[in-house]
Chains A and B, each alone.
Chain A
C-alpha cells in the first residue's frame, strides 16, 4: 500500500524494492519482521546472493591511509557473506545475481552496537544475583527499537540485561531482523552482566560485598558438591535429574576446574557438568573464562572494584567495562588492566567546581584514545543519538574520522569477538551493508537501504515513520485503506 508513495530510484533498485513489497506496512513489527516472513517467497532472498554497487565502497572505515575505500566499487554477497569486493568491472560478478545500488550511494559496513539494554521487556531483575536469567526470554522482536536500529544503520546488537543486578543474566548478540528471537540470533547466550556501581538506595560497600559474595557462594557450593561426591553422595546429579535437566553427552561428563582465579576447587571432575546448579553454572563458566563479562561502572571508584573482582576470579582477560562518563578518571588503571571499554554516558563529562561554580568539561573518548584503551561508542537512545550521530559528534569533539568510525564498527566487533563477521566489508564478513546517501557522518546523509546477511531489509522510501517525522506526512494517510 505504500508503493504509491515511493519514488523509484534507480531501475535496479526499483526491481529489488518491488520484490520486498510485503514489508511496506505500518507498524513496529513490519520492517524487520515481514521481510523475514517473505524470505522464502522471494527468489532474490532465497539464495542470499546480491551484488551491491556504490560510487564509494567503504570496506574498512578504520583505515587511515585511504586503502579502506574503493571508488566505483562493488560488493558481492553470496550465501549471506561477502565473497568479493573490489572495483566495478574488475570483480567477477555472478551472472544470475540481482544487482542493486548505484553511483549515488556510499556502501558502508553496518554499525555494531557493543552493548544495549533496549529492545526487551523490563531490562532489570530485582534480585542481586541472577545469572540463570537469559535475555532470550525478554527480547521483543517487534519492539520499535529494532526498527530504529535499521533506520539508523545498526545491523548487530549485543543485547544485555540492565545494570541493576549485581550479577545479571545471559545476553545475546542479535541482528535487528526477524520475528522470533531465534531468527534474530547471531550468537546465543553471550556474556554475563555484572555491576560494580551500587543499586539505587544501596551503599558501595553493600554492592562490593554482594559482588564478592556471589563468587564466594560459587566457591562454597562447588566445595560442597565435590565433598558430597567424595562421600558417595550424588546429590547434585539427582537434583538435576529430578529437574529434568539434560545429562547426556558433554553434560554428563565431569571436568577438572580450569581457571586463572586465585581460588580453585579440586575434584570437580567428579561432578557431571550438567548437574551444576543453574544459578552457579553461568558463574563457573565466567570463572573458567568461557563467557565474556560486561562489567558496569558508574564512577571511577567502581572501576577498581570491577577490575579486582574480575582478576581475583579469573575473568579479567574476558572483561569489557561498560562505563559512565566520569570513569575517564580511571583510564590509566584500565590501560594497565588491558581491558576494552564501552562508553555509555554523554560524550562530554561536565564537572562543576563546588566553590566557584565553574564548569570543567572533559571529552571522554579523547581520554581513552590518548591512554591507548580500545573504546566503543554506544547509542544514547534508540534514535536521536544513534551510533552514526555519536561518531559524528565525537569527530567534532576531537577524534579523527577513522577513530570515531572504528568506535562504532570494528572496535565493537572486536569487543564482541565478531571481528571475523562484522565491522568491515572485507571478504568473508557477513553481508551487512548500508547504502548511504552520502558521507556517513554528514548532517544530510541518510541510510537509504540496509542489507543484513544479503537480505534487503530496509528501504527509506518505504519507511512510514521516517516520512511522518522527516517529511511531515500526515500519519492518518497511512491508515487510510484508499492509500
Chain B
C-alpha cells in the first residue's frame, strides 16, 4: 500500500521532472524524447525558394530525412511548416559580468564561457519559434569576443546538445554603448578609474588600433598582440565580423572601417538607419541585420529611426539582410512577428521568410545545419495554424533537433 502511494506521488510529480531525459539507467538514448516524426502540411515553405503544397516532412533521429508530396503516413497535420527561426542578434543570458573590463578589444574571448544554458530565456525564445539563437557579449567592449550560436532546446542543456557553432564570427560595437558611462561628462577628471574610450571617435580608434597592431604582428615576429590571430582571420576573410551600429553616423563608420581594412565579411547589426546612405552600403558590400520594427520608428540604439519599408528597400538594392527580435521579452518584438511587420512595409513573403531563417543562419556560419528544410539538416521546424507570419496565425508546434517542444495536438508545451 505504501509502495503504491509513493508510486502515485512520483507519478503526479512527473510533469515537474520533465524533460524526462535524464539518463536513469546509464543508457541515455533510451529515455530521450522521441526524435522521429512524419508531419504533413497544406504548405511547406523550405526557405530555399521552394514551396511544397500538400506535402510532408519526415524526421528521423533529429534530422530531416525526406520531404515529399502527399501525406506520407503523417501522424500530424498542420496548415504550414517553415524552418525554425534563426535569431542573428540576441543578447540574452550574457550579463555585464561576461564582459572583460581590463581591455577594450578582446577578440580571443568566446561567449560560450559566459552563457547560462539553464536560463529560461532559451525556453521563451523556443516557444516563440526561435530554434537557433546567438549569445553575444554585452557591448561594453569595442570588440567583445566571439558569440556562440546555440539551439534553444533539444536534448539536455549541455554544450554537446545545444551548441551549434563557436568561433564562427567576431562581435564589435560602434556608437554610444562601448563608451557609455566610461567617464563623467563633467566633474571628476579622468584618472586611472576611468575606462577608455569616452567618445565615438575613441571607439573607432580602439578598433583601428587593434587591427593595425594585428597587421604589425604579422609583419614583425617580435611584436605580439593578444587576439591578433583572430583579427587576422577577419582580415583574411576566414571570420566574419558583426558590428553593432544603429544610427547613420555609426553605420557610416562601420562602412568606412570595412573599406579601410578591406574586410571581406562585415555584418552591420542593429542597422536601423541602413537606408540613409544606400549607395555607400551597396558599394562596400556589407550585409545587415535590422533591429525590431516599431510603430514609433524608434528602434535599435543611439536614438535611431527605422521606417517600415527599410527591409523592402534593402531587398530592392540587393543588400543581404536579416530581421531580428534582439531576444526582447516584449511580445510585439518577437522575431516571429518581424516578417509580418516587414511585409507591412512592402517586403514580399519569400524574402521575409529567408530573412529570419537561412540568411541569419549563413551570417552565423551555421547554414550547414539549420535555416532551411533540406534533407540532412537538423529537424528544426515550426508548425503553423495558418499562413506563416500573419498576425492572425499562431505557431502551434515547434520541433527542435527532432524533439516536439511545443505539441500542436494540445497547443501547449510538453
Contacts and interface: CB of A to CB of B under 8 A. Distances in A.
Interface stretch (B147-155, B192-200, B383-391): B383-391
Contacts of B331: 346-348
Contact of A471 (B309, B332, B343, B386): B309
A442 B345 contact: no
A336 interface: no
Contacts of A392: 390-392
B392 A401 contact: yes
Given A356-B16, A472-B307, A396 B295 contact: no
A396 B391 contact: yes
B344 A468 contact: no
Contacts of A397: 394
Interface of A: 346-348, 352, 356-359, 361, 380-381, 383-385, 389, 392-393, 395-398, 401, 441-444, 468-473
30 contacts: A358-B123, A359-B127, A380-B332, A381-B295, A384-B294, A384-B332, A385-B332, A389-B391, A392-B390, A396-B392, A396-B394, A398-B394, A398-B411, A401-B392, A441-B392, A442-B390, A442-B391, A443-B340, A443-B389, A443-B391, A444-B344, A468-B307, A469-B307, A470-B308, A470-B309, A470-B345, A472-B308, A472-B309, A472-B313, A473-B307
Interface of B: 16, 120, 123-124, 127, 275, 294-297, 307-310, 313, 331-332, 340-341, 343-345, 385-386, 389-394, 411
Contacts of B332: 380, 384-385
Most buried by B among A392, A393, A396: A396
Nearest to A465: B297
Contacts of B345: 470
Nearest to A361: B127
A467 B324 CA distance: 23
A50 to B, nearest CB: 29
Nearest to A443: B340
Secondary structure class of chain B's binding surface, majority of residues = loop
Please indicate which of the listed interface residues B16, B123, B332, B392 has the most CB atoms of chain A within 10 Å of its own CB.
B392
Contact of B390 (A352, A356, A443, A473): A443
Given A358-B120, A384-B295, A441 B391 contact: yes
A133 B97 CA distance: 51
Contacts of B297: 468-469
Contact of B392 (A356, A383, A385, A395): A395
B70 to A, nearest CB: 28
B391 A444 contact: no
Contacts of B120: 352, 357-359
A468 B344 CA distance: 14
Given A389-B391, A396-B393, 19 more contacts: A347-B331, A352-B120, A356-B16, A383-B295, A383-B296, A395-B391, A395-B392, A396-B390, A396-B394, A398-B411, A441-B392, A442-B392, A443-B340, A443-B343, A443-B344, A443-B391, A444-B344, A468-B307, A470-B307
A398 to B, nearest CB: 7
B408 to A, nearest CB: 13
Which 7 A/B pairs are nearest by Cβ-Cβ distance?
A: A472-B307, A392-B391, A384-B295, A383-B295, A395-B392, A443-B340, A396-B394
A359 B296 CA distance: 30
B118 to A, nearest CB: 8
A389 B40 CA distance: 30
Nearest to A151: B295
Contacts of A384: 294-296, 332
Contact of B385 (A359, A396, A472): A396
Contacts of B343: 443-444
A256 B327 CA distance: 62
B123 A359 contact: yes
B33 to A, nearest CB: 17
Contacts of A444: 343-344
Contacts of A348: 331
B275 A472 contact: yes
A361 B294 CA distance: 24
A442 B127 CA distance: 23
B61 to A, nearest CB: 28
Nearest to A469: B297
B385 to A, nearest CB: 7
